[in-house]
Amino acid sequence: MTAFLLLVAPSANRVYADAAPALMAAEARSLATAFIDGEVTVEATRIAGVDYLRVSADEIGPVGVRALSNLSAVHALFEAEGELLRPVAADRVDAYPSDLLTIQKYPGKTNEQLTRLLLNVTAAATSRPQRLLDGTLDVLDPMCGRGTTLNLALTYGLDVTGVDLDKRDLEAYETFLKTWLRQTRLKHTVRTSAIRTAGQHRGRRLDVEVAPSKEDFKAGRTQRLTYLGTDTTRLEGLVRSGAFDVVVTDTPYGVQHGSHGDRIARNPLELLDSALPGWVRALRTGGAVGLSYNRHVAPPHELADLLEQHGLTVVGDPADDTFRHRVDASIDRDVIVARKGSGRDVVG
């Protein structure tokens, strides 16, 4: 039996400081099932007053170490040797400098750690979770705001498409990304164009091609990022059917606290009902949808029923509190994952 201890990262974010150990335990369970063979146990533990997760299995090979290294709140990894901890080099997929994820600060930004958790558990629920770590997972964030998921997907070395209706979000993201790419001296191309379907103007799009090094760019080992500034409930003709492994998004919270994210949102369940046909079409069979949502405006059972009505299979029990955490008085946040067609039951 091998045991790894994961030191939970300290967080300046109040929500995460309190919730991180429990959230990362649930996240580690879903990733461990997808990436580590045989029976795995994950338990929160304290050593000398410090929070760790203990992950035990018969064998945790290199793929397991890589998966654990990329959990949302992992700070350092150790292998247990009796009472002692031997440091293990983290194998984090970091294609670009970490400030890509941290520089942007704005009201309504989805916490980077939650975004990572959501992408991880959603990818783990697909029939090909290894794509998360080998650079081939295709990601769609159909309500991407100013791009936290887009930046995370780039960090993971993945291709990604984002959609948002708020023009100011596309403008702000475009300005940020262009400046960051220039300052980071990464070889890249940026193209903007109008979106038209059936002769109708539908918004603007941004297409970026980038690679972590000049050599990669020259050799065509590039990543593609697309941002469609349009309505997510009308994606037909704009995204290919079956093109994505995961659809991940932080849904509007349906509360008036002045954050940019809720200015154009209607009732979140109604919005999802209109958007899901397009999202499900965009997903390949064996792919998964992962949503973070506010339980105050979208009760878990109603959301689970809605996902099932759109032909998806909810993973785990929507009533369990595995990923539930309180953000503030008006936001009781949770995560739900649902699969399209066949796959393995790995979350919850």
Ligand X SMILES: C[S@@+](CC[C@H](N)C(=O)[O-])C[C@H]1O[C@@H](n2cnc3c(N)ncnc32)[C@H](O)[C@@H]1O
Whether the CB-CB separation of 223 and 262 falls below 8 Å is answered with no
Q: Which residue is nearest to ligand X (CB)?
A: 145
Applying the rule CB under 6 A, the residues between 256 and 295 that interact with ligand X are 261, 264-265, 271
| Nearest to ligand X of 60, 228 (CB atom) | 228
Report the residue number, 243 or 264, with the smaller CB distance to ligand X.
264
Looking at beta carbons only, is 22 or 170 nearer to ligand X? 170
Q: Which of 174, 245, 250, 334 binds ligand X (CB under 6 A)?
A: 250
Element (H, E) at 328: strand 325-328
Q: Which is nearer to ligand X, 98 or 189 (CB)?
A: 98
By rule CB under 6 A, what string of x and - marks binding of each residue 124-163 to ligand X?
-------------------xxxx-xx-------------x
* Beta-bridge partner residues of 97: none
CA distance 156 to 103: 17
Based on CB atoms, which residue is closest to ligand X, 265 or 304?
Answer: 265
**Interstrand relation of 74-81 and 84-88 (parallel, antiparallel or unpaired):** antiparallel
Least distance from C-beta 307 to ligand X, angstroms?
Answer: 18
C-beta of 106: minimal distance to ligand X in Å? 7
* Burial grade of 251 (CB within 10 A; 0-12, 13-18, 19 or more): buried
Q: Under 8 Å CB-to-CB from 282, ≥6 apart: which residues?
A: 140, 142, 235, 239, 240, 241, 242, 243, 244, 247
Span from 76-84, 89-97, 225-233, 239-247 in contact with ligand X (CB under 6 A): 225-233
Number of residues interacting with ligand X: please give it, by CB under 6 A. Answer: 23
Distances (CA, A) of 321 to 99, 247, 272, 317: 32, 22, 22, 9
Among 108, 157, 343, 348, binds ligand X (CB under 6 A): 108
* Cβ-contact 188, 225 below 8 angstroms: no
Other Cβ atoms less than 10 A from the Cβ of 110: the count is 21
Cβ-based nearer residue to ligand X, 6 or 239: 239
* Token duo for residue 158: 């993945």
Binding mask of the shown chain, residues 163 to 182, with x at each position contacting ligand X by CB under 6 A: xxxx--x-------------
Residues forming the site for ligand X (CB under 6 A): 108-110, 143-146, 148-149, 163-166, 169, 231-233, 250, 252, 261, 264-265, 271
